[in-house]
Amino acid sequence: IISKLPGVGTTVFSVMSKLAADHNAINLSQGFPDYPCDPHLVELVNKAMKDGFNQYAPMPGNPFLKETIARKIENLYQVKYNPNTEITVTAGGTQAIFTALATIINPGDEVIIFEPAYDSYAPTIKLLGGLVKTYELAPPTYAIDWDMVKKLFTANTRMIILNSPQNPTGSILSEDDMRSLIKLIKGTDILILSDEVYEHLVYDGQKHMSVMLFPELRERSFIVASFGKLLHVTGWKLGYCLAPEQLTTEFRKVHQFNVFSVNSAMQQAIAEYINNSENYTGLTRFFEQKRDYFRHLLSQSRFELLPCNGSYFQCASYSKISKEKDTDFSMRLIKEFGVATIPVSAFYQKATDYKIIRFCFAKENSTLQMAAEKLINV
Ligand code: PMP
Ligand code: GLN
């Protein structure tokens, strides 16, 4: 057959997690917690199953869950989303991204992405016949020069994908960034896909700049969220997409034939769980402590830590340690030192050689400590 995605192999997350298992290495590569979620949440799933939530959920999502999401958003951001017309529950952030792109992108449409980028964006755009326009961010700050972004605009620019906090860099967008973006897209019909799956993981008292806080952006944005990150259950693959009614109507036309609806019992359980905001308000502090602990541990190593303002990823330069490419270096880290990481070049489409790797610190402190004991010998 003729491949629709020539040049695309197996995602780096699967590859690195398998290598970690094969070599019995500590897995700081793929982003997922190695500790259990709240047992109460699991009990709520059991309860939902006993209560009969075992058949198809309504296509756009469990009504109670959508209402709970709307309340959570209003409490956090003082913005109203209508649960009936503007919130759709999805099979994780990934499906929300895929469906939003499939809703909008026609062959020849251009989508601007900021690399290093989460690895699903570019292949999804290409699969739909769209063209990826890349703005390459550079370490250590990964800052955006918006005048340069404007240079990527053409008559075919259809969408811009934002991701703050950003995977893999841990950088966040500031209010100034958002104001620059507003100016840039004023008078255009460019839409925004804002991947905010790490919305709660913004550190040092900084505020998460959701696009929903800016009416000029909110009116043209799909916002993607993930319960995997919020509740330490990446394997449940549940999330949601927020968008104004007109966009949501079109999104749901695709969603209904993409998955129709998603896991019913888990939706009900999550609704009951997050109905109590105490079940997630400690999340920022929880991960901030892990970030601080991991950075402290690695301060004794030869790695140079990049800033980490958000997400549960810490990037580090190894240029003082080795001249190897990051793919070779991370292979050697697994084989010789027993620690799996992600080479950041995997998040760029073109070849790069910044000598940076990504660690995930959503792990038990004991795991981080064991990893650090190995990493200080590198
Ligand atoms: N966007 C980003 C930036 C991510 O890091 C991830 C995955 N971890 C996702 C989307 C996908 O989220 P989910 O696991 O809910 O599909
Ligand atoms: N988002 C996670 C990461 O960046 C993994 C997602 C996946 O495995 N597809 O590590």
Q: Domain extents for the chain?
A: 12-30+282-375, 39-279
* Closest residue CA from atom 4 of ligand 2: 31
Name beta bridge partners: 161. Answer: 193
Q: Which CATH class is domain 39-279?
A: alpha beta
- Strand bridging mode 221-226 / 191-195: parallel
Give pLDDT, residue 168: 98
Q: DSSP class of residue 242?
A: E
Give pLDDT, residue 355.
98
Number of C-beta neighbours around residue 349 at 10 A: 18
Contact 112, 154 (CB under 8 A): no
Q: Token pair 């790695």 is at which residue?
A: 303
Q: Is 37 exposed, middle or buried (0-12, 13-18, 19+ CB in 10 A)?
A: middle
Distance CA 59, CA 175 (A): 35
How far is 33 from 367, CA to CA, in rounded Å?
Answer: 11
Amino acid at 48: A
**CB of 280 closer than 6 A to ligand 2?**
no
Please identify, by atom number, the ligand 2 atom nearest to the C-alpha of residue 17: 8
**Cβ of residue 17 lying under 6 Å from some atom of ligand 2:** no
Per-residue pLDDT of the chain (378 residues; tens, 9 = 90+): 999 999 899 999 999 999 999 999 999 999 999 999 999 999 999 999 999 999 999 999 999 999 999 999 999 999 999 999 999 999 999 999 999 999 999 999 999 999 999 999 999 999 999 999 999 999 999 999 999 999 999 999 999 999 999 999 999 999 999 999 999 999 999 999 999 999 999 999 999 999 999 999 999 999 999 999 999 999 999 999 999 999 999 999 999 999 999 999 999 999 999 999 999 999 999 999 999 999 999 999 999 999 999 999 999 999 999 999 999 999 999 999 999 999 999 999 999 999 999 999 999 999 999 999 999 999
Query: Atom 2 in ligand 2: which residue has the minimum CA distance?
Result: 31
Distance 377 CA to ligand 1 centre (A): 32
Q: Closest ligand to 121 CA?
A: 1
Domain 12-30+282-375 fold: Aspartate Aminotransferase, domain 1 (3.90.1150)
Element (H, E) at 26: strand 26-27
Phi, psi for 194 (deg, rounded to 5): -110, 110
* CB atoms near residue 39 (< 10 Å): 8
Residue identified by tokens 């695709």 is 254
Query: Cα separation of 108 and 128, whole Å?
Result: 9
94: enclosing H helix or E strand: helix 92-104
Q: Is 31 in the pocket of ligand 2 (CB under 6 A)?
A: yes
Is there a contact between 347 and 117 (Cβ–Cβ < 8 Å)?
yes
Atom of ligand 2 nearest to the CA of 14: 8
Q: How far apart are CA 12 and CA 266, in angstroms?
A: 28
Please state whether beta strands 239-242 and 221-226 pair in parallel, antiparallel, or not at all (unpaired): antiparallel
Determine contact, residues 198/312, Cβ cutoff 8 Å.
yes
Do residues 356 and 344 make contact, with C-beta atoms less than 8 angstroms apart?
yes
CA 233 to ligand 2 centroid distance, Å? 12
Give 186: exposed, middle or buried? Use CB within 10 Å, 0-12, 13-18, 19+: exposed
CA of 119 to the centre of ligand 1 (A): 9
Is the shortest distance between the CB of 118 and ligand 1 below 6 Å? yes
Please tell me the residue having the least CA distance from ligand 2 atom 1.
31
pLDDT at 7: 87
